[in-house]
């Protein structure tokens, strides 16, 4: 490459990164997809190469990624009509042409079906749950997937997925050829690590003395009702353990404790809907075990966060979760409360098993790095854009 070549110009659509106020902080409000978008951009900005980024979103963004060097932010006017037009790529077409962008990255499932071929595009597909399990999603989302996903992936120059399980789903449904897909796992933020627990947090949330933790959007797919059934079985076996559920309210979630058969567990259960990041780390550290009974996940970032904090994990045996957890977690059938209870009981009552899982979890979590996610994503940008600047050498 000539030394006079201009830097690569990348547009990233942050429509899927939502924000909320929690404890005086601006936090990411929409779970794993929001964390992925934020951490990817943050670490792309920190790679030290010359690439220039344009972040595009409807409405104003307050997170720090919108105020970094070599980054321009385009805040589009916020309205229902303009949001709908975003799916037709009308504003993005204009922005890409005016700013001479080399590539647009859609990091939240799909987009770019209506861009001119002169604009290259990369799409990150996190999972196919609206197609595979439509009953767990609002009908508008299901319709959007059915109408837009195939043309978006056909038009994409390259597709990124977080796990091989999602790549297999795309190929099995003939949505994309395998050679067009790259598996780039997500990472674990460095703030997730073993730490000191304070009495202030225990009082603030009125935590049970001992508890199993689960973290994720409050929605039916996360399978909270089965986890309460598992806790009930543990208590029947003489294990006085509570449950803490952390997550923002999602689509069609109903508190499982509204079920009269489970209502007696209410003194043992806390549902925390707005938890600042620093408190979340302490909740991981306080937990006796982390349980993730989700029926389907494209990655399963919370199990790695728990491992990084030194918490033994029991996860669902479905979708991408066994791939991400590897040998560092116990797996259970997400349709079988007895199986989940048995695996949790083994962790709670087995010191040797507990210590083995904690050690294996630390090692597993270290294998996932947001910096590597960013480096491998930048390599995709450069592959898609001929003549782009060379990738910087950087330690993982």
Supply the DSSP string of 231-260, one letter for each residue. HHHHHHTT---EEEEE--B-TT---GGGST
Tens-digit pLDDT string for the chain (396 aa): 444 578 999 999 998 888 877 667 777 777 789 999 999 999 999 998 999 999 999 888 889 999 998 999 999 887 666 666 666 677 888 899 899 999 999 999 888 888 888 889 999 999 999 999 999 988 988 998 999 999 999 999 999 999 999 999 999 999 999 999 999 999 999 999 998 888 899 999 999 999 999 999 889 999 999 999 999 999 999 999 999 999 988 888 888 888 888 889 999 999 998 788 889 999 999 999 999 999 999 999 999 999 999 999 999 999 999 999 999 999 999 999 999 999 999 999 999 999 999 999 999 999 999 999 999 999 999 999 986 554 444 333
Which pLDDT score, from 0 to 100, does residue 90 have?
Answer: 77
For the domain 9-187+369-384, what is the CATH superfamily, name and number? Answer: Glycogen Phosphorylase B; (3.40.50.2000)
- The β-bridge partners of 122 are 105, 158
Residue 94, judged by CB atoms within 10 A of its CB (0-12, 13-18, 19+), counts as exposed
Residue 135, judged by CB atoms within 10 A of its CB (0-12, 13-18, 19+), counts as exposed
Contact 51, 102 (CB under 8 A): no
Which pLDDT score, from 0 to 100, does residue 229 have?
Answer: 95
For 163: left if phi > 0, alpha if psi spans -120 to 50, otherwise beta; the answer is beta
Pairing of strands 19-22, 25-28: antiparallel
Contact 86, 58 (CB under 8 A): yes
User: Architecture of domain 199-366 in CATH?
Assistant: 3-Layer(aba) Sandwich (3.40)
Q: Where in the chain is the domain with CATH 3.40.50.2000?
A: 9-187+369-384, 199-366
Which pLDDT score, from 0 to 100, does residue 156 have?
Answer: 96
């Amino acid at each position: 490459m000539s030394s006079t070549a201009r830097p690569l110009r990348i547009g990233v659509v942050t429509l899927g990164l939502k924000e909320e106020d929690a404890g005086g902080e601006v936090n990411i409000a929409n779970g794993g997809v929001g964390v992925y978008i934020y951490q990817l951009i943050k670490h792309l900005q920190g790679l030290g190469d010359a690439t220039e980024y344009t972040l595009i979103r409807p409405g104003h963004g307050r997170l720090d990624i919108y105020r970094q060097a070599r980054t321009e932010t385009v805040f589009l006017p916020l309205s229902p009509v303009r949001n709908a037009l975003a799916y037709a790529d009308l504003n993005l077409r204009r922005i890409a042409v005016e700013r001479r962008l080399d590539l647009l990255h859609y990091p939240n499932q799909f987009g770019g079906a209506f861009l001119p071929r002169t604009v290259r595009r990369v799409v990150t597909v996190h999972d196919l749950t609206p197609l595979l399990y439509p009953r767990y999603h609002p009908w508008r989302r299901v319709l959007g997937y059915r109408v837009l996903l195939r043309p978006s992936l056909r038009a994409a120059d390259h597709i990124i997925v977080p796990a091989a399980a999602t790549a297999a789903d795309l190929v099995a449904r003939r949505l994309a050829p395998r050679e067009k897909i790259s598996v780039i796992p997500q990472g674990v933020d460095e703030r997730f690590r073993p730490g000191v627990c304070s009495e202030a947090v225990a009082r603030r949330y009125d935590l049970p003395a001992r508890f199993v933790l689960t973290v994720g959007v409050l929605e039916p797919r996360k399978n909270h009702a089965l986890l309460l059934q598992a806790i009930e079985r543990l208590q029947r076996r003489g294990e006085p353990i509570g449950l803490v559920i952390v997550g923002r309210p999602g689509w069609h979630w109903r508190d499982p404790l509204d079920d009269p058969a489970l209502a007696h567990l209410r003194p043992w259960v806390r549902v925390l809907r707005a938890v600042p990041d620093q408190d979340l780390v302490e909740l991981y550290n306080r937990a006796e075990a982390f349980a993730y009974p989700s029926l389907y996940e494209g990655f399963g970032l919370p199990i790695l966060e728990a491992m990084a904090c030194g918490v033994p994990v029991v996860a669902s045996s479905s979708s991408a979760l066994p791939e991400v957890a590897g040998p560092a977690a116990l797996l259970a059938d997400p349709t079988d409360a007895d199986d989940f209870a048995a695996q949790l009981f083994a962790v709670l009552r087995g010191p040797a098993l507990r210590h083995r899982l904690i050690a294996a979890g630390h090692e597993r979590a270290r294998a996932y790095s947001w910096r590597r996610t960013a480096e491998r994503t930048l390599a995709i940008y450069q592959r898609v854009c001929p003549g782009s600047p060379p990738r910087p050498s950087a330690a993982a």
